[in-house]
Chains A and B, each alone.
Chain A
Amino acid sequence: MPPIIEAHDLTKTYDLGGKRVDALRGVTLSVGAGEFVALMGPSGSGKSTLLQLLGGLDRPSGGSVVFEGRDISRLSDGEATKLRRERTGFVFQAFNLIPLLDVRENIGLPFTIAGHDANRGELKERVRQAIELVELTGKEKHRPDQLSTGEQQRVAVARALVTRPSVLLADEPTGNLDYTTGGDLLHSLWRSCDHDGQTIVLVTHDARAAAYADRVLVIGGGAIREEIVLGRRIDHSATVLIARLAQIGL
């Protein structure tokens, strides 16, 4: 698989009230097109920071991020906005939806922000397909507060996928969901990867979620401590992964 994102010696330092904190200390990685990669690690390990840098949400303190062959670590704000709008899709743990917009409007939001009418022609069809993908047909007019937490996250996934981004970046998307709902959501993500070749980078501290990935990168202390290759599997059993994690003391 040709690489779609590459990170080279990535560092990120925060200044917290005069105290310097190194969130990342020289991370190098590569994500191939159509690959499902999970970033795992305990709280404060730097996995979310790494995701932000890979998606162009933040700038690294050192090193570089190459996205589709282009260094995005020094992009201007406008260029970074364009990248997020056109090439990446994000799903977060919470605060994923605009409460004032209904399901269809939330999903079509990236198009609307780009100045397109999401209710016409091909875009309308893409929104419909995205709704179908996350199995929310019939609930297009519902507002977020009229949906369950799981449904809300599925809307977020649909919104992230509707632009057909090169990479979907998800940060603890199942963190607020119960066992069954979380499973459904992960299955949706996996299906988009397996069926449509969608590249996914998932941040999680849950081995069961990470078990959906082809490859798991274990982050600790701001660096990649371990790479666990699981391969593409129809069954998403976490047994092998948990065993490996236990071996490295996680």
Chain B
Amino acid sequence: MGIDRLAWRAVLARPLRSLLTIIGIALGVGVLSASLTLSAALDASVERTVHDIVGRADLRVSAFLDAGLSDTAVQTIRRTDGVATVAPVIQHRTFLASTPGGGATNAVTVLGIEPLSYATIHDLVIVKGRALATPDEPAALVSETLAKQDGYQLGSDITLQGPGGEGPLKVVGIVQGFGPLGGPGRTVVVPIGLARTAFSLAGVTRIDLQLAQGATQDATTAALASRLAEPYVLASPAGIAQSLRASSADFQATAALVAAIVLFVGAFLIVNTLSMTVGERAREVGLLRAAGATRGQVGRFVFTGALVLGLLGSGLGIFTGAILALVMADSVSAATGLTATVPGIDPSGSAIAALVGVLVTIFAAIEPAVRASRISPVEALRARFDLPAVRRARVWWVGIVFVTVAFLALIAWPPAIAATGSERALAVYGVLLLATLASPFLLQPLSRLLGIPVAMVLRIEARLARLSLARDRSRTALTLGSLVIGLAMVVALGWSAQAARASAFAWLNDVVPGDELVSSIRPIAADEGIQPILAQVPGVATVTPIASFDIAYQGFRLDAAAIVGADVLADGRLTAVAGDRRAALLALDSGGSTIVPTAVATRLGLHVGDTMRLALAGGEHLDLTVAAVVDRSIPGPGGEAVLVGWKDATDHLGVTGADSFAVRFQPGAGPTARQALADTAKTYALEANPIERIQGAVADALARVFSVFDALAIVAVLVAALGIVNTLTMSVVERIRELGLLRAIGMSRRQAMRMVIVEAGVLGSVGVVLGSLTGLGVGALLLALGRGLGPAAGFPWVPIEFAAALGLILPVVAAIYPSRMAARVSIVDALEFE
């Protein structure tokens, strides 16, 4: 029989252990594969979204004002050096007069295009009928979705509602799927001239342009800046892709980090399993050596076994990864805002993960293989051969495996997020490695300490369990190490989630000058008198108006909010990190000043005293002096808002009224006041939202993101639990004779069972203590690097409690099988009388 077949038999000889190891590898490979698949899906989603948005355009110039970009601006752009093709479009939301059947209809988006230029830049796939022919043809295309929903067919009449509405247009073509704008897919495409007339528009919404050969984006951007007088916002495909990627980079980086950690835990399992196998097979190995097997053949015996486990585990891992990716896709889409379409089994992600899985397995086998090859035939065949010495895994080798996995994980790091979080990952790996290497030294004192309460009730079980854990410290340390790492990640990620939630809550409390936000779907002008009505509601102390809008600064669209500085000052909101808070808030009300949040100030390089020149309609501009930089500002749709006074907002920035009111209740005002406010708000078609409800929505959003990470961290703990089953089973098998002896002198089956369970419990409790401490270290690191470590982060009691529950329950569950095995030991067989 060849060495390879012997190795195969060795794998089959311990089916449970082999199966658990294969599952461990499969979970590690599966999580890595899922992480890579989702990462690739997000990248593809970014590419797809960018293509859907800009097609083959090199630049997109969007109108900043509702009036759009004028014909002059379009002509200016057309004549700008470096511009080859210009495709102006009008995009407008409206209602159709009726469905073909005469029923009521939901809103649609109308896209007005120049058929020829649009086709140069965008693909408009017609599934039925034909494309538009001229810019003023009285015809329309509808998306398949709209056609299906409202019953449009070729030849149907379609009437757009608008101030300049004309007679019905004929549907001449159906556009594939959701149509050119994606989203809900209720799109009507018409010639641009008809759209302009129908909605009485002077300008166009945006212009996509292609550059001439040899022209550069930078030069064209500069030329546009010098020639265009109207306010506009410039975007490039790369810029859009970058901002889309930025929205998912943190998620991808953390998922990749956790995936690598699951792989570490899997690697621990492999090293431990192979070490146990070498120990068990020591006599056979000695026999093989005595029979003439070379060291190389013995090494191959171990490697082949590892390869079998690695290949089976990685193969299973590919399917596990595909299932995990499918399960996680929705959460990932919700967390990142990008549609992660998972293609079943992703060939490249699966291949990389499987390769990493096999490489890690083989690498983990090196030391046990070398150890096996060094077994002396004379020693191995001696009656009193010291098996534990051969069996013992070397903790230092785990350190090397750990570093190698970290290296492989960094190589396999999703390329799109290379810049994000790789330092953070390295720092986390470092802390985990330290914890792993320290575990063998802390095991003894901690197990003694934590075993005291158990020993008070179950003296002999606790004593024997503790001694058993100390019997092979290397193996216990490996098992413990994997548990520590898994629990540490549970604590660290839980703490990160807690800090993010606390930070979001603190943010709202720090910036919103009220207990409730009463919002409106339309701007409410000051002279409508709503504010005094709300202020008169019994229990209400103050009401202050807030308006959200956009401003254009240096070609960037920024979120802005108009506030009453004096109200915010009186309510004690906003924390200034530069400039005088009081003076700045009062300056807002006087006009000519602005307050910017730190995030915007850092991004745009703004300081107190700088002037922000905002582009206005007709080539006008408004200069605002930065009066203060605040830690956090009112949240807007795309980020934190630049704060301006109401005077500037209404006089220059086109704000016509408040879209929300921050309401502060009098101290002691209870639910009655809240109800009265809600009733009054409803009378005026307003909606009252307590800050707590907004915080709840934030918490839900964060929970969706962190649930994915938590699930991955729990996979790591599960892999660790598999290691515990392996270790305890091996421990029982090794102690069969001892157990037989103990049973012979009066130990009951229940005591034998309890002994193993106590062993798992002590291991789990040591894991909980070390895992929690390590988790605090990793969490502090993650928060510090993410600048989230502050008093608001609080102490992660809940994550620690969760880790404690996992760390105590899972090992005990893992101990059920080995403990039953211990209880069933036959005294006669164990002692081998004759």
Taking Cβ atoms with an 8 Å cutoff, the residues of A that contact B are 43-44, 47-49, 51-52, 55, 57-58, 77-78, 81-82, 84-86, 89-90, 92, 95-101, 105, 109-110, 112-115, 117, 159-160, 171
Contact = CB atoms under 8 A, between A and B. Distances in A.
B751 A52 contact: no
B669 interface: no
A110 B746 contact: yes
Interface in B784-834: 827-828, 831, 833-834
Interface string B358-370: 0000000000000
A112 B461 CA distance: 9
A48 B831 CA distance: 11
Given A78-B748, A100-B468, A95 B737 contact: yes
A92 B745 contact: no
A90 B747 CA distance: 13
Contact of B748 (A47, A81, A92, A109): A81
Contacts of A78: 748
Interface in B653-697: none
Contacts of A92: 741, 744, 831, 833
A85 B743 CA distance: 9
The 6 A-B residue pairs with the shortest CB-CB distance in the complex, in nearest-first order: A85-B746, A48-B833, A100-B467, A95-B737, A112-B460, A81-B748
A110 B745 contact: yes
B471 A85 contact: no
Nearest to B463: A112
Contacts of A44: 834
B738 A113 contact: no
Given A49-B833, A100-B468, A113 B741 contact: no
A159 B746 contact: no
A114 B748 CA distance: 9
Contacts of B227: none
Given A100-B467, A113-B747, A115-B459, A52 B742 contact: no
Contacts of B738: 95, 98-99
A42 B393 CA distance: 43
B749 interface: yes
Contacts of A96: 741
A84 B464 contact: no
Interface string B699-740: 000000000000000000000000000000000000001101
A6 to B, nearest CB: 21
13 contacts: A48-B834, A52-B833, A77-B748, A81-B743, A81-B746, A84-B743, A85-B746, A90-B744, A95-B737, A98-B741, A100-B467, A113-B747, A117-B459
A136 B834 CA distance: 30
A207 B792 CA distance: 83
A128 B769 CA distance: 39
Nearest to A48: B833
Given A43-B834, A48-B834, A58 B828 contact: yes
A154 B737 CA distance: 19
Interface string B467-497: 1101100000000000000000000000000
B834 A49 contact: yes
Contact of B827 (A57, A109, A112, A115): A57
B759 to A, nearest CB: 12
Nearest to B388: A99
Given A58-B827, A58-B828, A113 B737 contact: no
Contacts of A101: 463, 467
Residue in B740, B746, B834 with the greatest tally of chain A CB atoms within 10 Å = B746
A146 to B, nearest CB: 14
A57 B460 contact: no
Interface in B744-770: 744-749, 751
Given A95-B738, A100-B464, A112-B463, A85 B745 contact: yes
Given A48-B834, A92-B831, A98 B744 contact: no
A59 to B, nearest CB: 10
B833 A100 contact: no
A51 B827 CA distance: 13
A105 to B, nearest CB: 8
Nearest to A172: B833
Nearest to B828: A58
A101 B470 CA distance: 12
Given A101-B467, A109-B742, 16 more contacts: A48-B833, A52-B827, A58-B827, A58-B828, A81-B747, A90-B745, A98-B741, A100-B471, A110-B746, A112-B460, A113-B460, A113-B747, A113-B751, A115-B460, A117-B459, A171-B833
A77 B749 contact: yes
B479 to A, nearest CB: 18
A110 B532 CA distance: 86
Interface string B452-470: 0000000110011001101
Contacts of B741: 92, 95-98
B746 A114 contact: yes
Contacts of B742: 98, 109, 113
A48 B468 CA distance: 30
B467 A113 contact: no
Contacts of A84: 743-746
A84 B333 CA distance: 65
A218 B463 CA distance: 42
B754 to A, nearest CB: 11
A150 to B, nearest CB: 15
A235 to B, nearest CB: 31
Contacts of B745: 84-85, 89-90, 109-110, 113, 159-160
Contacts of A105: 463
A112 B749 contact: no
A43 B738 CA distance: 24
Interface centre among B460, B737, B744, B831 (most CB of A within 10 A): B744
B819 to A, nearest CB: 16
A171 B834 CA distance: 10
Contacts of A55: 744
A81 B752 CA distance: 12
A99 B384 CA distance: 13
A204 B470 CA distance: 36
B746 A95 contact: no
A186 to B, nearest CB: 19
Contacts of B737: 95
Contacts of A82: 746
A77 B825 CA distance: 12
Interface in B271-316: none
A160 B746 CA distance: 11
A193 B307 CA distance: 60
Contacts of B831: 92, 95
A124 B557 CA distance: 85
Nearest to A109: B745
B611 to A, nearest CB: 78
Contacts of B751: 113
Contact of A52 (B468, B471, B828): B828
B387 to A, nearest CB: 12
A57 B746 contact: no
B779 to A, nearest CB: 37
A88 to B, nearest CB: 9
A100 to B, nearest CB: 4
Contacts of A98: 464, 738, 741-742
Contacts of B748: 77-78, 81
A43 to B, nearest CB: 7
Contacts of B470: 100
A86 B747 CA distance: 11
Contacts of A99: 738
Contacts of A110: 745-746
Interface string B195-208: 00000000000000
B255 to A, nearest CB: 44
Contacts of A112: 459-460, 463
Contacts of A109: 460, 742, 745
